Amino acid sequence: MSSEGREPHLNAQAGRWVGASVPRKEDRRMLLGRGRFTGDLTRAGMLHAAFARSPFPAAEVTGIDTSQALALPGVAAAFTAADLGHPYLAAMLERDEFTPTRMPVLAGDQVRFAGEPVAMVLASDAYTAQDAAELVDADWRPLEPVPSIEAAQDSAARQVHDALTGNCLVDLTMFDDPALPGILAAAPVVIDAVFRSARVAALPLEGRACLAEWDDRDQQLVLHVSTQVPHQVRSGVAQALGIPEHGVRVIAPDVGGGFGLKCVVGREEIAVAGTARRLRRPVSWVEDRQENLTASFHGHEQRYRVRAGFDRDGRILGLAAEIDCDVGAYSAFPFTSAVEPLMACTELPGIYKVPAYRARGRAIATNKAPTAPYRGVSRPQIVLVMERLMEKAAAELGIGALDVRRRNMIGPGEFPYTGVNGISYDEGSYRESLDLAETQVRKTFLNGTPAAESGGLMTGVGYACFSERTAYGTPTMSQRRMAMTPGYDTALVRMDPSGEVIVTTGTCGHGQGHETTFAQIVADRLGVHPAQVRLRQGDTDLASYGWGTWGSRSIVIGGGAADRAAAVVARQLRQVAAHLLEASADDIELAAGSARVRGDDRAALPVGELARIVHFQTHRLPEEFRYGLEARASFDPPGTFSNACHAAMVTVDPGTGEIRLRRYLVVEDCGVVINPMIVDGQVSGGVAQGVGAALLERVRYSEDGQPGSTTLMDYLAPTAAELCPVRITHLETASQFSETGAKGMGEGGMIGAPAAVLNAINDALRPAGVSFDHVPVLPAEVCAALAGDAADVGRAGGDQDKRPV
Ligand code: MCN
């Protein structure tokens, strides 16, 4: 039985835990409200932090007075940037095209977005701290805000940072094929188009939170923080406060989602750590939703100006793209603001065989909250661009849009394929997933059709085919030239005297179900039950060094390291069993909790008994086996591509412009599936985020840089009412670059959904001769477009966003 009292089902066919829908170990404590999140932690004498934030998108700060705040009963301290010694975070890229800038922990003489912290107040309770923060008095000299890509690129624009030119934090030109202009000039069909996606919020259920305390015994700062990357937070704190890494211990307790928002280091976290160290008192900060929406990190605000040439059969001949990413006011640590343009430039061709290519990608600084690598990182956008291009070429040529895709996609027999972007694509099922999705659409979407149910509505079906590069190891990440280059990960597997197993990894799950899936992998190696395997992540003093959880890296890299370490422990167990059973280690198999001599059921010892002997009766073993049961391993793959085809069906009400999602299906291939139920959950959650990005979500700023999406009344996350069930089918093309054969997949749902939904909307609107090339598509825009007005009505903000009724 599992620790939760439910019997997980073994993958009976294979006799393995891998491949079984083992119920999530973490669910019981979560569902019973017994999870332990940072905000649940409390300490005697703890102070609560609140931040005084800028009301201006851009201003000089000519003076700050904290005296009124300090006078409020219950307030213990207040700090400005000067009081803290002007600490800052500096994310670095070792590229000439990158202009380094600093993100101050508290803004000093200039603020660069509305919501930027300028002072910090510590009080005996959170309410007093908040009241006191409002009493901080600052003198501001407002500056002309730079609220958009267009404003930032205006030749007369003010520079968000003095060091910038054209407000450009990074300006990359990649794969600049000299033949491309000629190819495009001669192409029989040329598509010129502009694609846009709105700024969105990652919206984890748990916002950011931290609690820092001073440990006198170890002379160490201990920071509990809701993060995806504990070791990188340690580096950020150490660098910003000027202390050695061993002076900081970072612990991530249960983390209520991150979606990329928490794989960067927040300035508030540094401020809390620094003041706890200074005062030698515990300090806690829990972000509220308004801060989360206005003062944390956003993502995905991008504009693509694209020119693509096709031949008369719909084959793409060349592709040129100018990609501008509105990354807000600062480069986030440690990934830098280059993460979106780099990803977009490198991976735009996707699954299509583009013979000639050029991309220019820029990170544009604006007076808005900074951005982080939000789920998908540019891939929802590049997939949208390529999938729209396929549709446009098909329409131009009068060929079926799925056929145009088939003619261009990397086909069976062409793997491994090295693209014009230098990327090597491992074996996938691009063609099969599209074929299967098309068959399923015919069978399920168009039967009992919602069009019939819905009289008067316009119905459309849209597809998106894509691959998701996952498990970016050092060979891939080093090409980005970050000063801190992520890649490998490590794991330690240790069996205790009762045969229970502890696994530590440098990955740091925050909702993905790692406690379950890592246990499945290790249980298979050691022949034990997954309930006997416990995963420990997220403590920099105890867990192995690693790069945390992002980029759908954990199961391939962390799981691969755990698999390798478990294989060593399995060998140790086999050697001990062989000695005790007087057999050869090669003849010992580990299964169902025992070590057995293969072919002889009577010659068996329980794994727990072996563990007891190894620890308590070492004298029964030869000296060379007296090493405990423990191993450490690392894994650093080049990366592997999972793939999927999404299909969506929508209806559009021409009277109100309302768009409803009616059907959704995914055919996905993430190699060997460790836990199908968890993968389904990941796909469904990602699809919900992608549908939100297509239909509802946008972080609005007014033309003068004021945030307009400050509560969940104005920022519309999708609810069950706007979604529909997602039908998921798995194909399994095992990866040769992965110890387990698994490929990552944690972002795929989000990557495919915006393009599939946008294509479905355009399919529905086709009879009216109307189409859109941006997300989200809002009802007012549909109405305006159907009435013949400019298609972009309502995009600049001003309108309050509303849910369909
Ligand atoms: N899995 C599997 N078989 C596979 C591939 C994956 O069973 N072949 C399982 C894994 O074991 C893991 C989960 O699926 O439990 C996701 O695995 P993986 O693709 O390795 O992705 P990561 O664990 O590295 O998670 C990161 C990814 C990213 S980048 C974002 S953003 C994201 C996401 O996961 N944020 C999430 N999923 C999230 N889910 C939740 N609940 N909350 C978030 O913040």
| Distances from the Cα of 473 to the Cα of 235, 446, 556, 636, 639, angstroms | 20, 42, 10, 5, 6
What are the start-end ranges of the H helices in 539-695?
559-581, 607-616, 676-695
| Distances from the Cα of 80 to the Cα of 57, 75, 106, 472, angstroms | 19, 15, 7, 39
Asked if residue 595 has its Cβ within 6 Å of ligand 1, the reply is: no
Gyration radius from the chain CA atoms:
27
Q: Are 508 and 255 in contact (CB under 8 A)?
A: yes
Ligand 1 mean position, distance from CA 59 (Å): 40
DSSP string, 584-596: -GGGEEEETTEEE
Asked if residue 744 has its Cβ within 6 Å of ligand 1, the reply is: yes
pLDDT digit string (tens) for 172-226?
999 999 999 999 999 999 999 999 999 999 999 999 999 999 999 999 999 999 9
Asked if residue 707 has its Cβ within 6 Å of ligand 1, the reply is: no
Asked if residue 648 has its Cβ within 6 Å of ligand 1, the reply is: no
pLDDT of residue 5: 35
> d(Cα 340, Cα 379) in Å, to the nearest integer?
9
Q: For 592-722, where are the E strands, in sequence order?
A: 594-597, 600-606, 630-635, 640-652, 659-669
pLDDT band with cut points at 50, 70 and 90 for residue 544: confident
Atom of ligand 1 nearest to the CA of 670: 8
| Distances from the Cα of 517 to the Cα of 306, 367, 541, 790, angstroms | 41, 42, 23, 50
pTM for this entry: 0.96
> d(Cα 581, Cα 572) in Å, to the nearest integer?
14
124 has a pLDDT exceeding 80 = yes
743 has a pLDDT exceeding 60 = yes
Asked if residue 673 has its Cβ within 6 Å of ligand 1, the reply is: yes
Asked if residue 148 has its Cβ within 6 Å of ligand 1, the reply is: no
Helices 379-397 and 748-765 sit at what angle, rounded to 10 degrees? 30
pLDDT of residue 3: 34
Asked if residue 518 has its Cβ within 6 Å of ligand 1, the reply is: no
pLDDT band with cut points at 50, 70 and 90 for residue 573: very high
Asked if residue 678 has its Cβ within 6 Å of ligand 1, the reply is: yes
What's 767's DSSP letter? G
> d(Cα 787, Cα 170) in Å, to the nearest integer?
41
pLDDT of residue 187: 98
pLDDT digit string (tens) for 415-438?
999 999 999 999 999 999 999 999
14 has a pLDDT exceeding 90 = no
Ligand 1 mean position, distance from CA 557 (Å): 12
Asked if residue 537 has its Cβ within 6 Å of ligand 1, the reply is: no
Phi-psi category of residue 797: left, alpha or beta, with phi > 0 → left and psi -120 to 50 → alpha: left
For atom 4 of ligand 1, the residue with the nearest CA is: 673
Bridge-based pairing state of the strands 189-197 and 774-775: parallel
> d(Cα 437, Cα 496) in Å, to the nearest integer?
48
Bridge-based pairing state of the strands 640-652 and 630-635: unpaired
139-143, 410-414, 446-450: which range is least confident on average? 446-450
> d(Cα 61, Cα 804) in Å, to the nearest integer?
42
**228, 692, 150, 112: CA torsion to nearest 10:** -40
Asked if residue 66 has its Cβ within 6 Å of ligand 1, the reply is: no
Atom of ligand 1 nearest to the CA of 549: 24
Average pLDDT, the chain: 94
Which phi and psi angles does 586 have, rounded to 5°?
Answer: -65, -20
Q: Which long-range contacts (CB under 8 A, 24 or more apart) does 444-448 make?
A: 444/663, 444/665, 444/727, 445/647, 445/649, 445/663, 445/665
pLDDT digit string (tens) for 360-378?
999 999 999 999 999 999 9
* Tally of CB atoms within 10 A around 46: 18
For atom 21 of ligand 1, the residue with the nearest CA is: 552
Higher-confidence position of 643 and 792: 643
State the Cα angle at 587 between 586 and 593, rounded to 5°: 105
Question: Which of 375, 514, 555 is the best mutation target for the ligand 1 pocket, counting ligand atoms within 8 Å of the beta carbon and taking the most?
Answer: 555
> d(Cα 39, Cα 210) in Å, to the nearest integer?
7
Q: Of the candidates 726, 717, 721, 761, which has an alpha carbon nearest to the alpha carbon of residue 646?
A: 726
Asked if residue 512 has its Cβ within 6 Å of ligand 1, the reply is: yes
Q: For 54-165, where are the E strands, in sequence order?
A: 59-65, 75-80, 88-89, 103-104, 110-111, 117-123, 137-142
Ligand 1 mean position, distance from CA 643 (Å): 15
Helices 514-526 and 559-581 sit at what angle, rounded to 10 degrees? 30
State the Cα angle at 21 between 18 and 23, rounded to 5°: 115
| Distances from the Cα of 722 to the Cα of 449, 603, 716, 717, 781, angstroms | 18, 59, 11, 9, 18
